[in-house]
Amino acid sequence: MRSDASERLFAKARGLLPGGVSSPVRAIQPFPFYTSRAEGSFLWDVDGNKYIDYCLAYGPMILGHRNPAVIKAVEEQLQKGWLYGTPSEIEVEMAERVTNLYPSLQILRFVSTGTEATMAAIRVARGATGKDKIIKVEGGFHGAHDSALIKAGSGATTLGIPDSKGVPADTAKNTLQVPYNDLKALEAVIRKFKGQIACLIMEPVLGNIGPVLPKEGYLQGVRDSTKDNEILLIFDEVITGFRLSVGGAQKYYDVTPDLTTLGKIVGGGFPIGIFGGRRDLMEQVAPSGGIYQAGTFNGSPVPLAAGRATLDILEGGALDKLNAAGDKFRSALSEIVNDLSLPYSVVGIASMFKVFFGKEPRNYAEALSCDKTSYLKLFRKMLSSGVFLTPSQYETDFLSTAHSQEVLDQTLEAFKLNLKS
Ligand SMILES: *Cc1c(COP(=O)(O)O)cnc(C)c1O
């Protein structure tokens, strides 16, 4: 496998970008490959290597790369202009569509990233309750902003800096942590800080330390205790939205949050975020209320056009098919792990999967106890076999609708070979 062009680019990038990359998780050691082209389930790098892509840009590319319907939608929108600074019809249409799919979002706002969406949702919760403290789940990732960068998953966990420097102590003290899948711990924190907590923000399925699934009844238990204690519940569905079902995890598990954040898939691969929820809360957002949020790129028509084309396909039966393919793929992968008598676990749901080098984790601490060094060895071997998994034990791998059975079978063969040795 050739790599000199990627190595050369990385050597130059190190002097220009922090760590040579634009986002931390991309800093694959000793050097990342530089992508020059993408199509369907494949990436090609600048040295001419071809990879089957299970990273899928960490989630948004659920249709794979360069889906023709998305290209057409974007081209049509480009012909009409791509940024107006005024309202446009597509934002009304997409707002109606999302609120129909997610009845808990009675009112919503389009922003440009998931980070902005969670920032705003937390502000709404604080503004509406007049309380400062929030609870988050350990290992949950809600974007890279101050209130959320505490025991955060994703790149922060991979790099071993889940608590970022530069977050004021006065901010950090308002973010309380609870372990996932533990209602007793949640109730203890609620008791201890009674009357001071605005909201609990959580990923219904943890997606940023690898997929970690809720125990039976856990999400409903969270809903009940937050409601009983007048704490707003925010589901961060930036990964699970339009994935577990078109109506997200809230539909799949039948648990209704007060506020929700969405992103990734709903922009069709273009930058997007959504926050929304109960009418009485969202009506407090400016200009109808006193909680401020604004953005030059809010409701940008190109991401909305790409998102609309994506939803058309997912709602047309593609999502059900993809999720069935995910089940089948995880079973086949589990079988390989079992046949080789390895002490690993294959975990996931819908189009999410991960090989954990250890027992199936039920929370952050258990995920951290998996053998991340051995995972990295597997990652490198798979890359040499032309399979691009996410480069960390703590990132979820994804399937797309563009992954053919042939490609999936080829991947399973590569797992068989590389898990063995
Ligand atoms: C990716 C992610 C975010 C942040 O979204 P960006 O678009 O990267 O800002 C927030 N929450 C969750 C659950 C995510 O996976």
What's the N-to-C CA distance of the chain in angstroms?
Answer: 19
Tokens encoding 19? 């760590």
Reported pTM: 0.97
Rounded Cα gap, residues 129 and 364, in angstroms: 29
Atom of ligand 1 nearest to the CA of 118: 10
| Cβ of 401 below 6 Å from ligand 1 | no
Residue-level pLDDT at 157: 73
| Cβ of 114 below 6 Å from ligand 1 | yes
| Confidence at 219, pLDDT banded by 50, 70, 90 | very high
| Cβ of 263 below 6 Å from ligand 1 | yes
| Cβ of 139 below 6 Å from ligand 1 | no
User: How many A from CA of 222 to the centre of ligand 1?
Assistant: 22
| Cβ of 237 below 6 Å from ligand 1 | no
| Cβ of 203 below 6 Å from ligand 1 | yes
Given a contact cutoff of 8 angstroms between Cβ atoms, the answer to whether 314 and 62 are in contact is yes
User: How many A from CA of 61 to the centre of ligand 1?
Assistant: 14
Query: What are the φ and ψ backbone dihedral angles of 241, each rounded to 5 degrees?
Result: -65, 135
Give 224-264 pLDDT, tens digit per residue: 999 999 999 999 999 999 999 999 999 999 999 999 999 99
Q: Is the pLDDT of residue 324 over 80?
A: yes
Residue-level pLDDT at 132: 97
Atom of ligand 1 nearest to the CA of 140: 13
Identify the CATH assignment for 4-66+317-420 out of 3.90.1150.10, 3.30.70.890, 3.20.20.150, 3.40.50.11540. Answer: 3.90.1150.10
| Confidence at 306, pLDDT banded by 50, 70, 90 | very high
Tokens encoding 42? 């494949």
Q: Beta partners for 275?
A: 109, 261
Rounded Cα gap, residues 378 and 336, in angstroms: 14
Rounded Cα gap, residues 75 and 369, in angstroms: 47
Given a contact cutoff of 8 angstroms between Cβ atoms, the answer to whether 287 and 107 are in contact is no
Tokens encoding 226? 């937050």
Rounded Cα gap, residues 238 and 31, in angstroms: 29
Q: Which among 58, 112, 137, 142 is the best mutation to test ligand 1's pocket, defined by most ligand atoms within 8 Å of the CB?
A: 142
Which residues of the chain form CATH 3.40.640.10? 68-310
Residue-level pLDDT at 145: 93
Angle at 209 between CA 377 and CA 357, to 5 degrees: 40
The fraction of the chain above a pLDDT of 90, given in percent, is: 94
Helix axes 301-313, 68-80, angle to 10 degrees: 150
Nearest to 177 by CA among 213, 201, 144, 209: 201
Q: Which among 206, 208, 237 is the best mutation to test ligand 1's pocket, defined by most ligand atoms within 8 Å of the CB?
A: 208
Q: Is the pLDDT of residue 290 over 90?
A: yes
| Cβ of 142 below 6 Å from ligand 1 | yes
Rounded Cα gap, residues 71 and 75, in angstroms: 6
DSSP helix/strand/coil, 45: strand
| Backbone angle region of 207, left / alpha / beta, with phi > 0 → left and psi within -120 to 50 → alpha | alpha
Tokens encoding 65? 């790369």
Which residues of the chain form CATH 3.90.1150.10? 4-66+317-420
DSSP helix/strand/coil, 133: strand
| Cβ of 303 below 6 Å from ligand 1 | no
Summarize the confidence of residues 59-71 as an average pLDDT. Answer: 98
Across the chain, what does the average pLDDT equal?
A: 96
Burial class (CB in 10 A: 0-12, 13-18, 19+), 315: middle
Contacts of 194 (CB under 8 A, 6+ apart): 229
Rounded Cα gap, residues 384 and 2, in angstroms: 10
Atom of ligand 1 nearest to the CA of 114: 5
Give 144-168 pLDDT, tens digit per residue: 999 998 888 777 777 776 688 999 9
Q: How far is CA 402 from the centre of its chain?
A: 19
Atom of ligand 1 nearest to the CA of 58: 1
Residue-level pLDDT at 229: 98
The fold of the 68-310 domain, in CATH, is Aspartate Aminotransferase; domain 2 (3.40.640)
Given a contact cutoff of 8 angstroms between Cβ atoms, the answer to whether 259 and 121 are in contact is yes
Rounded Cα gap, residues 256 and 294, in angstroms: 26
Q: Which among 239, 297, 395, 397 is the best mutation to test ligand 1's pocket, defined by most ligand atoms within 8 Å of the CB?
A: 239
Query: What are the φ and ψ backbone dihedral angles of 302, each rounded to 5 degrees?
Result: -65, -50
Q: Which among 238, 390, 394, 396 is the best mutation to test ligand 1's pocket, defined by most ligand atoms within 8 Å of the CB?
A: 238
| Cβ of 141 below 6 Å from ligand 1 | yes
Q: How many Cβ atoms are within 10 Å of 323's Cβ, its own excluded?
A: 19
